[in-house]
Structure 1
Amino acid sequence: MKIGLRIPPCAPVGQIADLASEAERAGFDEVWFPDSQLLWRDVFAVAAAAAAATTEIGLGTAVTNIVARHPSVVASAARTVAELAPNRFVLGIGVGDSAVGPVGLRQSTGAELRAGLAVIQELLAGRTVDFGGTHSRLCDPTPVPIYLAASGPRNLRLAGELTDGAILLSGVAPAPLAAAAGRVREGAASAGKTGVRMTVSAFCRVTDDVPRFARELKPICARIAQNGGAPFLALAGVDIDVPQHLPGVYPDLVHAVDWDAAVRACDPYVSDEAVIAFAREFCLYGTAAEIVGKLAAVSEAGGDAVYLQHVGSYDLPDALLADVAEQVLPLLRNQARGGR
């Protein structure tokens, strides 16, 4: 199983590239950069800088979108980074989220995703695309693997049907993860594909005191419920009811500038007991040994990789990188050696 790390482009580009290089030296397999034009540096510029600073580690967008960026722009940018990092770059695409809401746009519908993905795939394959009567193609195309981030059943099926991989936003709780993976496999089967790579996104903290840190996850838990994930939460015994809008949180719960204020805004709707259960079930919160055990379960459910996130959008995951490198990766290596 590949171990990836989310790095929000919240610092000067050189620092982001240096951290990607540090992750490579520490033994991570992948680094992923989110895309939100008002919150962070441009994701493709950051990925290009990281490509120049590394030699082996995988690089990906997690995720860009086809609302704020035209599909042809996405295809050209992806091709450019792929040239700098041959066989190392993955184009992750999603519905938009924090890239679209703050500029008054709406997230992609399923039909828009299907159409936009088709345009990108055709252009990267060197084929001509009909843009409303104008027929054009991408010069010097380069094949790029495309992953679709998804949480709802329709987009999970779409990921399996249309793309090379799925980024599962269901967390690591066994029942929701199995349900999500099943939807991806259904989509793959409908397209006659034998399988699709699955990367599981999970918030992670190496700790022997989960209750102490679980409170920081309240905005994450609440946002999942807002986005239609309450049934998935309920599958793991986390029952919450959150209004669609919580005042005083900018730009949204997951990317709040004032994280403590976002936590307080969620207090009436997400109890301490519920968020502790969320941390234990849906997230990789626990000791290194507990995290390794959960990773084994993710692999058994069909996960090919995990995408580790820290809580925060405006600071770099230095502590998470160090903790995973020093405590989790050695256990995984020992486990792999013992299995041979």
Structure 2
Amino acid sequence: MTGLGAVFRPQLPPERLREVAWLADESGLEELWLWEDCFREGGISTAAAALAWTERVRIGVGLLPVPLRNVAITAMETAALHRMFPGRPVIAVGHGVQSWMGQVGARVESPLTLLREHLQALRALLRGEHLTITDGRYVRLDGVALDWPPSSRHPVPVLAGATGPRSLRLSGEAADGTLLTAATTADGVRKARQLIDEGRKSAGRTDPHEIIVYLLTATGPDAPTRLRAELADEGLADVPDLGVAGDAATVAKAVQRLVEAGADRVILQPTGDEPDPEAFVRFAAQEVRPLVP
């Protein structure tokens, strides 16, 4: 079955999260995703709160920018979430927006190298390994291991957010799944799957690798206007077949196009000016979900 979720956008104040998370849980939505956008809300803090307020919904963080985080901290926080809420957190890491990384003095010369080193170390630490890495360009560890790694009964997949060809190949090589932005069309999903598979082949990997993609979604009387405005703000107005505006049947068809192109899970991303985030979650869970195979 195709996984379906929704995004709680950080344009909303953090105190709004509790009601939205509760609705996602109660309405039967499979996943609620949070963002660690500079300089709004922390990904781990909001994820921990959302997990504590709910019982069954999976909480995704898409994504944690690796220039901001020592890999040991990422591993400690991820492990703690998985031990407290087994199987429910979903963590993705990535380059982060480079201009934001520059604003905080964290921009690196080779984001690809940093992401590779971070992914390799993070996955090893979450497997309970004891690491000494002294020759990394960015990641250096001296006898580091988690006292409380996740339970072996609940393996922890680590996702990578990726857009460009080299990052997508790296995700196939070094991550357990890939998160694609809402700027990804169905054709973009196909190309991403091909590049990811190239990376997997080069690393000799045969384990499953899920692709999760955001779908910019607007519903309601002013949906087409809000969708066009957001695409224009993002410089994407000329990209054909990007995003969807309309009723549940229209949205479900857009989801299906992404699935047919190779997506395993689709996360509905409301526009930044969505007037009713709670209603958006209900729409996703109660109207769109029944129409998605």
- TM-score grouping bracket, smaller chain normalisation: 0.7 to 0.9
Count how many residue pairs are aligned between Structure 1 and Structure 2.
Answer: 278
The structure 2 residue matched to 1:150, chosen from 149, 152, 162, is: 162
Alpha-carbon distance between aligned partners in 1 of 2:276 and 2:68, rounded to the nearest angstrom: 25
Match of 2:119 in 1: 117
Residues 55 and 93 of structure 1: is their aligned pair in 2 closer, same or farther, counting only changes over 3 Å?
Answer: same
1:137 to 2:138 alignment: no
Match of 1:309 in 2: 269
CA distance in structure 2 between the aligned counterparts of 1:308 and 1:292, rounded to whole angstroms: 10
Question: 2:224·2:246 contact (CA, 8 Å) conserved in 1?
Answer: no
Preserved CA contact (<8 Å) 2:223 2:246: yes
Q: Which runs of 4+ in 1 moved over 6 A?
A: 313-316
**Is the contact made by 2:80 and 2:148 (CA closer than 8 Å) also made in structure 1?**
no
| Higher helix proportion (structure 1 or 2) | 1
Question: Structure 2 CA distance, aligned partners of 1:101 and 1:314?
Answer: 29
TM-superposed deviation, 1:286: 3.1
Task: Pick from 176, 180, 204 the counterpart of residue 164 of structure 1.
Answer: 176
Instruction: Name the structure 2 match of 1:7.
Output: 8
Conservation of the 8 A alpha-carbon contact between 1:17 and 1:46 = no
- Indicate yes or no: 2:24 matched with 1:26: no
- Residues 190-241 of structure 1 deviation map (CA, whole Å, 9 limit, x = unaligned): 222334100012211125776533123212235xxxxxxxxxxxxxxxxxxx
Q: Structure 2-normalised TM-score?
A: 0.85
Counterpart selection for 2:217 from 200, 204, 207: 204
Unaligned runs of 5+ in 1: 223-274
Matched with 2:78 is: 78
- Computed over aligned residues only, the root mean square deviation of the Cα atoms, in angstroms, reads 2.6
TM-score (norm 1): 0.74
DSSP-derived class of the 1:67 partner: helix
Q: Measured at CA, do residues 189 and 285 of structure 1 come closer, stay the same or move farther in structure 2, by a change above 3 Å?
A: farther
2:251 equivalent in structure 1: 291
Q: Is the 8 A contact 1:18 1:53 kept in 2?
A: no
2:217 aligned counterpart, secondary structure: strand
- Which digits, 9 at most, give the CA deviation of each residue in 1:82-124, with x for residues without a partner? 1221011111111011752432332661111111111111211
Q: For the structure 1 residues 45 and 313, does the alpha-carbon distance in structure 2 shift closer, same or farther, using more than 3 Å as the test?
A: farther
Structure 2: unaligned runs, 5 residues or longer: 135-140
Cα distance in 2, alignment partners of residues 37 and 172 from structure 1: 22
Contact 1:28 1:57 in 2 (8 A): yes
Using CA pairs under 8 Å that are at least 6 residues apart, name the structure with larger relative contact order, 1 or 2: 2
Rounded Cα–Cα distance in structure 2 between residues aligned with 1:314 and 1:39: 17
Partner of 1:55: 55
After superposition, the Cα gap between the structure-2 partners of 1:43 and 1:100, relative to the gap in structure 1 and judged at 3 Å, is same
